[in-house]
Structure 1
Amino acid sequence: MSDKQRNKIFREGQASQYGVKAGRVLLVDDEPDILELLEMALLKMGLSVDKAVNLHTALDKL
């Protein structure tokens, strides 16, 4: 996915409407593009993001 496509989906300031102040999320998916896209959205919401590509990696991060 290109930067242009990502920016079209997640415009600056768009996430502020959710009012999220802080938090931590563990994303688990075997598709790197999905992880990257979700990470971008959550970071813009002010959340801390950790990623894992499979269940075993995710469990190690808990």
Structure 2
Amino acid sequence: MKANQVFTPGKEPSITYIDDHLIERARMLHDALDAGAAVISLSGPSKSGKTVFVEKMLEKNA
């Protein structure tokens, strides 16, 4: 498998994105977004799925 099959900027990873360990974090983000007027900080190592996580959550909140 080539790296560009896993890490493709601008596209959702179909191989590496696993969200079962993010259920509690998703609830916390959803609650914060619903509360409004809040600063939300998200951190983690490069290529850990931060952007994809937020994009998925924003799709669900739309």
Q: Which structure carries more relative contact order (alpha carbon 8 Å, separation 6+)?
A: 1
TM-score by length of 1: 0.34
Q: Which of the pair is proportionally richer in strand?
A: 1
TM-score by length of 2: 0.34
